[in-house]
Amino acid sequence: MESEGLVRLRTAALADAEAIGQLHRRNHLGDLDAVAWRSLWDAYPFAAEFRDVPIGWVLETESGRVVGYLGNVHMLYDLGGQAVKGAVTTAWAVDADHRNMSLRLMTTFLRQKGVDLCLIGSASPTTAQVLTALGIPRIPIPGYDVPCFWTARPRGFAKAILRKRAIPGANVLARPLGMLLNARDVVLRSGRGRTSSTVRRLGGFDDRFETFWQSLRADPPRLRAVRTRAVLEWKFGAQLRCGNATIVAASRDGTLSGYAVLVRRQSPDLGMDLYDVADLQAIRDDPATITDLLLGAIGIAREDGVDAVKLLTGSPAKRAPVDRLRPYTYRLGLWQLYYRAAPPELKATLSAADAWDFSHFDTY
């Protein structure tokens, strides 16, 4: 336990859930469901591997008030058959009166013991500035700051474009612009084509995903979070059960060849209903399977009344089949991905883009 003035830094505990939730609300980070947060850690699949690694850190006043928090989600990764112990940041928040201690939380995260790799996968503009100043390297995935979109409901997508550009009369202009976008998509074959495998929607993860993970591990070595059936259920199970997520599966000759997990969310910055491709995996990064999964995702979005499908490609190998489906794109205003590798050999390996397979699976 460390102290500085009237505020001390200590490791977080499950008993801090209510206080962290109040901190979130004060700092406009939304509500933290304390019961769900505790349940997530109770069902955590890597407890044995990370027994001595904190779940996060809090800043606490002498009176016991939590005025800062940084979450530390542990994740086991695989790199060419070797286990890599990773930690991912989540929910960095500090009350305004104590922002002078914000950096203590981040440096504690980056210098923690018991992990090989520290990941920041959704940096805010302020976080990006801090990490750059600290000399923390970027995750070197080309194009991860260029989201890809395919329309499912052109009118809703058109309205989002008009709002983003602050064009007056978005509600009125959305219909004619949507018709133009639909014509564009037909001509360019954006998000269109025939699948070469059997593509279906699944409501949950079955035994095939266990076999699939073993096959995926045998692929060219990339840093991938472990994706056993149990881990996938831990990560996405609650969203699947409440109808906020769905699975697209591709099969060849009855064998699972790839899958994508779609998470539904409202995009406040774009003003539309999205299916985010939270995870997309294909054996040997097969381009045909990746194409089939995306076509399946777009079809499901149309069925479910969602405006668009969004994907951030997490490895160079996935980019070519994505680009062939002619997505809409734009460039984000900042880079969100940073990492710190402790072992020198791991740091050297991860300096290459092809060593990564990053996605929303790795963010919290």
Mean pLDDT of 285-308: 97
Among 101, 133, 165, identify where a domain stops.
133
Confidence of residue 5 (pLDDT cuts 50, 70, 90): low
In terms of domains, do 299 and 228 share one?
yes
In terms of domains, do 62 and 94 share one?
yes
CATH code of residue 120 = 3.40.630.30
In terms of domains, do 49 and 128 share one?
yes
Give the separation between CA 151 and CA 221, rounded to whole angstroms.
33
The answer to the question of residue 120 being in a domain is: yes
> Given this model, what pLDDT does residue 1 score?
45
The answer to the question of residue 356 being in a domain is: no
Token duo for residue 316: 């160079």
In terms of domains, do 324 and 194 share one?
yes
In terms of domains, do 54 and 23 share one?
yes
In terms of domains, do 114 and 207 share one?
no
In terms of domains, do 118 and 200 share one?
no
In terms of domains, do 179 and 278 share one?
yes
Among 133, 167, 201, identify where a domain stops.
133
In terms of domains, do 185 and 98 share one?
no
The answer to the question of residue 342 being in a domain is: no
Confidence of residue 212 (pLDDT cuts 50, 70, 90): very high
pLDDT tens digit sequence for 181-195: 999 999 999 999 999
The answer to the question of residue 335 being in a domain is: no
Helices (H), 281-358: 287-303, 316-324, 344-349
Domain that holds residue 65: 2-133
Give the separation between CA 11 and CA 58, rounded to whole angstroms.
6
Among 76, 106, 133, identify where a domain stops.
133
pLDDT tens digit sequence for 121-154: 989 898 999 999 999 999 999 999 999 999 999 9
In terms of domains, do 105 and 159 share one?
no
> Given this model, what pLDDT does residue 250 score?
98
The answer to the question of residue 347 being in a domain is: no
Give the separation between CA 86 and CA 72, rounded to whole angstroms.
10
Confidence of residue 161 (pLDDT cuts 50, 70, 90): confident
Mean pLDDT of 12-33: 90
Give the separation between CA 217 and CA 84, rounded to whole angstroms.
13
Question: What is the number of domains present in the chain?
Answer: 2
Confidence of residue 269 (pLDDT cuts 50, 70, 90): low
pLDDT tens digit sequence for 79-93: 999 999 999 999 899
Q: Cα angle at 137 between 131 and 140, to 5 degrees?
A: 130
The answer to the question of residue 364 being in a domain is: no
The answer to the question of residue 313 being in a domain is: yes
In terms of domains, do 161 and 279 share one?
yes
Contacts of 151 (CB under 8 A, 6+ apart): 157, 181, 182, 185, 190, 191, 307, 308, 328
Q: Is 93 helix (H, G, I), strand (E, B) or coil?
A: strand
Candidates 327, 309, 305; CA nearest to 184 is 327
The answer to the question of residue 341 being in a domain is: no
In terms of domains, do 96 and 180 share one?
no
